Amino acid sequence: MSITSRGQSETVGFVLVIALVLAGAGLTVAIGGTAILDTQASNEYQRAEHSMTLFDSRAAMVALGDADAQRVSLGHDRGTISVHDDTGWMRITHANYSDSGETEMIFNETLGSVVYESEEGTIAYQGGGVWKTQQGGQAQMISPPEFHYRGATLTLPAIQVTGDGAASGSVDLTVTPRQQARVVYPNATTATEDGTGAPYDETATTSYRNYTNPVRNGTVNVTVHSEYADGWESYFKQRTTGKVTRPYGPDEDTVRLTLESLSGPPGNFDMPKLGGYDTVEAYGIASNHSIKEFATDFVFDKTGGGTNEFSYWDQSGEKQWELHVSPADSGNLKCNNGSPDSDVIIAQYYYDGNTEGEYEFWEVTLDPDTTDAVEWSCDGAGHAVLSVDFMNTDPETQMEYNDETFKSGKGSGGDVGGNQWYAAAHIKENEMKDPLTLDGHGEINSCEPGNYSKGDFTNCTLGHIVDHYMSEMGPNIDIHAKNGPGQSGPIKGPLSEGKLLYEKATGGKYVTYLHITENEIEVDT
C-alpha cells in the first residue's frame, strides 16, 4: 500500500470517529432533553397539586363564612385552569321516612368544579375536596371534601362552584361568596310542601313535618355523580362505616353512601297486618343480648275454631328468623265457661344463611298453671286472649333443641298451618345443626356457649333463646305477622298488640343527627 493510500484511510477514520462522537452527543442531548422535559412536567404537576390544595383551603374559608373574598395565584408554566358550573351533582335523600315508605329529597344541586389539566393528568377542586386523575387511571383524593361523619352525626356543608372561563400559564383566581351556610337540615321553615327541601312531603297524611333531629326511620343516602367518583368512593369507604355502592353499575360515575337511622325500639305496638307486608320495625338492636321486654296479647276469634297457629318472622338476605306460637288444644278456645285452659307450644326457628342445609330449632310446651310466661283470659267482648312473655326465664320454660313436635305436625297431613318456614316439607328437606354451639356474642347466664345436641333439654329458657336469636338476626328486624292455615286463622290482628324494648346499638353505621348547609362560591379567572 502506498503512503498516499494510508493517508486517505487515516483521514476517513478520523472523520468517522468525529461523526460517531457527534451522533452520540446528539443522542445524549436528545434523551437528556426528553428526561428533563418529563421531569419538568412531573414537577409542574406536583406544584399544581399543592396549588389546588391551597385553593381548596382558601375556597373553604369563603364558602363557610370565614372570609368575604380570597385571591389565589396559581403560577404554572404548563396546563390550563378552567371553571365549570355544570359538572357533577350531589343528592341527599331520606328514604322510607314514613309508614308508607316515602322518600324525601333533602338536597339536589350541581357541584361544579375548578379543573387544572396538563399532559400529566387532571387535578380538580369539587365538593370541597381535591381530586386527581393521571394517565387514564382511577381518580384519587388529594385532600378530603367538606364531608364529616363522626359519632352518628353527619355534617355536610355542600359547596357549589359557579363561574366560567379558562386560562393558561400563571393564573390568578378570585373566590367570592354567593351563598354562605344556608341551613338545609335541620330546618323549621315551610318553604315547600312538595319538592326538594323542608318540610317532608308526607303525601299520605295532611301533616307536614319540619326537618328536625334526631333522624328517625329509614336511611339517609348521599349520592354523588362525578367523573372523580372513584375518589369519592374511596373516601366514603375509608372515612365512614355506611354502605357504599355504585347504584347504576360499577362503570358508571355515580357513588352512593347509605347511612341507616337508629329508630330504636318500637315500644308498644299494634300487630302488623296478618299475612301482609306491614311490619314492626325493630331497628338498631344491640348485638349482646339486649332485649329487655318482648310480649304480646293474642286475641282470638269468638268461634275458637281453626288451628290457631301464629308466627312472627323476618328474612334478611339468606337469614331466616321465626318465632312460632300455637295452643296445644286449639279446638275450643271459647270464653263461654270461663277462660280457656290450654298448654301453649312456642318454637324458635333460625337459619343463618351461611351453612348449607342446616337450621336451628328450639321448642317448649308451656303449662299456664306452672309458669307466668303464658296466661289465658277473656276480654270484655268475649274474645279469648293469650298473653305471652317471650322474655320469661322461669325454669319451667327450658327449651328443647329439637323439631319433633312440628316435624310430626299437629294438623291434618302432618303439616303445621300458621307458619313461614315451619312446614313439615321444609324440615324434612333440611338438617338441623348437630351439635350446636350458641356463640357469636356474650353469654347469657349459664345458657351459653354450651354444646347442644338434637333432643337435648337444656337450661336455656324461652327468654334466653328468643334474646339470642333476635341478637343473631339483628341489628334490624322487620317483624312480620302471619297466622293460618291459608290466612283464615282466627287470631284477630287488629285487636292484638305487643311491646318490644331493647338496648340500642351504637356505632358509625347509624346516623342520628344531620347538619347540612348549602354554600355557593363564584370563581373568576
Walking along the chain (525 residues) 10 residues at a time, the average pLDDT comes out as 49 52 48 49 79 93 90 80 95 83 90 93 95 89 90 89 88 91 84 77 61 83 96 91 86 90 77 75 82 93 68 84 86 75 90 78 93 92 92 94 67 41 51 81 70 83 94 87 62 86 72 91 92
User: d(Cα 255, Cα 234) in Å, to the nearest integer?
Assistant: 10
pLDDT at 305: 58
The SS3 assignment for 142 reads: strand
Amino acid at site 158: A
- Cell numbers at 20, concatenated: 460517531
Terminal-residue alpha carbon distance, the chain: 78
User: d(Cα 332, Cα 342) in Å, to the nearest integer?
Assistant: 9
- Cell numbers at 238, concatenated: 375509608
User: d(Cα 415, Cα 421) in Å, to the nearest integer?
Assistant: 11
445-483 residues labelled b (16+ CB within 10 A) or e (exposed): eebbebebebebebebbbbbbbbbbbbbbbbbbbbbbbb
User: d(Cα 19, Cα 430) in Å, to the nearest integer?
Assistant: 87
The SS3 assignment for 400 reads: strand
pLDDT at 219: 84
Identify the bridge partners of residue 501 per DSSP, sorted by sequence position.
293
User: d(Cα 459, Cα 444) in Å, to the nearest integer?
Assistant: 11
Which strands sit side by side in the sheet containing 267-270, from one edge to the other?
267-270, 497-502, 291-299, 384-389, 374-378
Task: Give the other-Cβ count within 10 Å of 68's Cβ.
Answer: 11
The SS3 assignment for 17 reads: helix
Cα–Cα distance list, 515 to 128, 185, 498 (Å): 16, 5, 35
Stated pTM of the model: 0.55
Task: Give the other-Cβ count within 10 Å of 233's Cβ.
Answer: 23
Question: Kind of pairing, strands 254-261 and 510-511?
Answer: parallel
pLDDT at 457: 82
Give the closest residue to 392 by CA, choosing from 406, 410, 377, 374.
Answer: 374
370-384 residues labelled b (16+ CB within 10 A) or e (exposed): ebebbebebeeeebb
Residue 245 burial by Cβ neighbours in a 10 Å radius (0-12, 13-18, 19+): middle
Identify the bridge partners of residue 457 per DSSP, sorted by sequence position.
400
pLDDT at 18: 58
- Cell numbers at 333, concatenated: 278456645
- Cell numbers at 143, concatenated: 385532600
Amino acid at site 309: E
